Amino acid sequence: MQGKVVIITGASSGIGRALARECYLRGAKLSLGARRIDLLEALSLELQSKDILCTQTDVAKESDCKNLIELTLTKFGRIDVLINNAGISMRALFSEMDLDVMRRVMDVNFYGTVYCTKFALPYLLKSRGSVVGVISIAGYVGLPGRTAYSASKFAIRGFLDTLRIEYLKSGLHVLVAAPGFTASDVRKAALTADGTPQGETPRVEESMMSAENCAFRIAEAIRKRKRNLILTFIEGKFSVFLGKFFPSLLDILTYNHMAKEPSSPLKSPKV
């Protein structure tokens, strides 16, 4: 990544922030987008580089995504890597969830990826660069109580897999990265049934893969121009394997696993 221009959305915390540090250490020039501009500027100050652009960006807004790409081009003149990392989660039964929650999650996760990729694509084609979608194992396995989240991640995977085929002969690299449960703030900000933030994580964050480890693995996958990256063994690779060959068993195991969460919306086997 030495000297390459890398755009990272959702770079203010979690995996996005760790990706910014990882790419910086590899010599990249960074264009960072997030809603919380103060956290981006604090990160820029920490890294102490003139080759960092911070742009307040709500990826749910088409105009913000276009602005992020245009400002990147103005400062650096090219784009080599686009990492679509910005995302939001939710936690509620579909029957109890306001439909606005579905729209908000899709707007950030799916359409944010679509908007940024659309505006960056001509420049990524010119540089024979990489477009990356950070999804989740929820993009391979439907997680009960996370209908909107899983739907958005499946949608991103389908979108990027198709993009890869469309530009098969162009030199464009497309990576779909699927972390397992990773320590971050995403669960604290997850939307509940009425759209309010959850506030507290239902999981033991310390026991999960670190954001730094996740970022290193994603950066390596970009370097090697891999098409897919599935992280963690049990929750990741093994779950995908079961989904291919023993889908009914995976349904049962997934339900039981998610039902063990504190205050799980899966209230009883009758749900």
Are 9 and 84 in contact by the 8 Å Cβ rule? The answer is yes
CA dist., res. 214 & res. 263, Å (int): 27
CA dist., res. 133 & res. 260, Å (int): 29
Instruction: Tell me whether residue 240 is exposed, middle or buried, using C-beta atoms within 10 angstroms of its C-beta: 0 to 12, 13 to 18, 19 or more.
Output: middle
Look at residues 131, 92, 134 and name the one whose alpha carbon lies nearest to residue 225.
131
Are 243 and 43 in contact by the 8 Å Cβ rule? The answer is no
CA dist., res. 127 & res. 76, Å (int): 13
State the catalytic residue, choosing from 24, 140, 149, 167: 149
Are 43 and 120 in contact by the 8 Å Cβ rule? The answer is no
Please say whether the dihedral angle defined by the alpha carbons of residues 260, 262, 265 and 268, taken in this order, is positive or negative: positive
CA dist., res. 169 & res. 191, Å (int): 40
| Residue 167 appears among annotated catalytic residues | no
Are 86 and 34 in contact by the 8 Å Cβ rule? The answer is yes
Look at residues 123, 90, 82, 121 and name the one whose alpha carbon lies nearest to residue 107.
90
Strand order in the sheet with 228-230: 52-56, 29-34, 5-9, 81-84, 130-134, 173-178, 228-230
Mind telling me the catalytic residues?
Answer: 149
